[in-house]
Amino acid sequence: EPEVTQTPSHQVTQMGQEVILRCVPISNHLYFYWYRQILGQKVEFLVSFYNNEISEKSEIFDDQFSVERPDGSNFTLKIRSTKLEDSAMYFCASSRDIQGNQPQHFGDGTRLSIL
Amino acid sequence: RKEVEQDPGPFNVPEGATVAFNCTYSNSASQSFFWYRQDCRKEPKLLMSVYSSGNEDGRFTAQLNRASQYISLLIRDSKLSDSATYLCVVKFGYSGAGSYQLTFGKGTKLSVIP
């Protein structure tokens, strides 16, 4: 069964540094997403991406965050100047469509630890 | 405001028991409904979509009541492998003007004990 893959599985970074999280969505999917989950809290939406542009973003997704699809397979999340409160699990997801009950399929996440 | 509320649990049940999870959502302009499960420190995995008429997948039955803004999940004959956190998930948005994002409840933790 095709799956979403994410790298690295764990990233440790000093506060203030830039970090790039990478994702390879399922190949025939057109919609891509990033979510985060702070330890012990619920999964929160960050951003969705379709047709090479952001389609929706949450209040969390401020100017420190950006997304990119640099080639035909990768989808990246960049955090420009990390803060302690950015420590969380970051999940990439993809879906074939957004209509009806099309589910989003999640990668196994990148654990980001900011020191 | 888009919110999804769940009983946090934990629910501790013996193997073979039937267990039910409930979920309420705040916004009547909601489009799609799902149950995901999440194992400790893992990604959410789709368990099942929830359809208006209710649907069943093996030991799992999901129900939706749009009037009450209420979703349920019933697990019959629970197995040790069912131990996980069950996430109620709603995609808000009007038909024809879909939202992209999923809104997650905090989850209900289930422990099935031998």
User: So what's the pLDDT on residue A49?
Assistant: 93
Distance CA A63, CA A61 (A): 7
Query: What tokens does A51 get?
Result: 């047709």
β-bridge partners, B108: B86
Segment holding B103, helix H or strand E: strand B103-104
Average pLDDT, chain B: 91
Q: How confident is the model at residue B9 (pLDDT cuts 50, 70, 90)?
A: confident
Residue of B nearest to A31 (CA): B100
The answer to whether the Cβ–Cβ distance between B101 and A101 falls below 8 Å is: no
Cβ contact, residue pair B100, A44, below 8 Å: no
Token representation of residue B67: 């009037």
Q: Is A42 on the interface with B (CB under 8 A)?
A: yes
* B30 has pLDDT over 80: no
Mean pLDDT of the A82-91 span: 97
Residues in B 26-55 with any Cβ partner in A closer than 8 A: 32-34, 38, 41-46, 49, 51
Measured between beta carbons, the chain B residues lying within 8 angstroms of A102 are 32
Query: Which of A44, A45, A98 is facing B98, going by the closest CB pair?
Result: A98
Cα distances (angstroms) measured from residue B5 to each of A79, B24, B88: 30, 5, 8
E-assigned strand segments in B7-96 = 11-14, 19-25, 30-38, 44-50, 55-57, 60-65, 70-75, 84-94
Q: Which B residues 1-30 touch A at CB under 8 Å?
A: none
What confidence tier does B93 reach under pLDDT thresholds 50, 70, 90? low
* Confidence band of B94 (pLDDT split at 50, 70, 90): low
Question: Is pLDDT above 60 for B110?
Answer: yes
